[in-house]
Structure 1
Amino acid sequence: MSAYFIIQINVTNPENYKDYIPQVTPLVKKFGGEYIVRGGKSENVEGNWPYERTVVLKFPSFDMAKKWHDSEEYKPIRKIRE
């Protein structure tokens, strides 16, 4: 069964984020993931929404999503966006 990883963020350092994207994309694919929602214009039409960016990743399973997130390869990349 597919699993979805939903990321909601505010980009506070655009330069770091530019470095993060080309490194994380191939790693997501390596673990069988694909981008369902990524970037583009968004507009909040109801209620308060504190995030400027939402990303949705689809993995073949919950196990693969966790393996990607917890992988040794992702740890240094994750630090770039923190």
Structure 2
Amino acid sequence: MTAFVVARVAIHDREAYGRYSAGFMPVLRQYGGRLLVSNEQPEVMEGDWDGRKLVVLAFDDASAARTWAASPEYRKIAEDRIAGSDAIVVLSEGIG
């Protein structure tokens, strides 16, 4: 079942986050992930939004998402994400 990684990201160091972004897609593709959404200004349709970046990734299943997140390649580039931003990241399986 398709699994989704959803992140809400507050970027506070553009240089560090830029290094992370530069290495992100090759690592995501290496582990079979797909980038569905990457938007720093999503349209608010209801409620309050704090202006953070919205990211949505898709993987074939939750196991693949966990493998990607724990991989040495991702952990290496994630050092710059952690240095350059604060994020809330969740994993959820899709429906059906």
Give the aligned partner of residue 53 of structure 1.
Answer: 53
Aligned length: 82
Give the aligned partner of residue 14 of structure 1.
Answer: 14
In the alignment, is the contact (CA less than 8 A) between 2:40 and 2:51 conserved in 1? no
RMSD after superposition: 1.5
In the alignment, is the contact (CA less than 8 A) between 1:8 and 1:51 conserved in 2? no
- What amino acid does structure 2 have at the position aligned with 1:78? A
TM (norm. structure 1) is: 0.88
TM (norm. structure 2) is: 0.77
Misfit runs of 4+, over 4 Å: none
User: Which structure: greater strand fraction?
Assistant: 2
Long gaps (5+) in structure 1: none
Long gaps (5+) in structure 2: 83-96
CA distance in structure 1 between the aligned counterparts of 2:10 and 2:45, rounded to whole angstroms:
18
Q: CA deviation at 1:42?
A: 2.0
Q: CA deviation at 1:81?
A: 1.2
- Identity over the aligned pairs, expressed in percent? 29
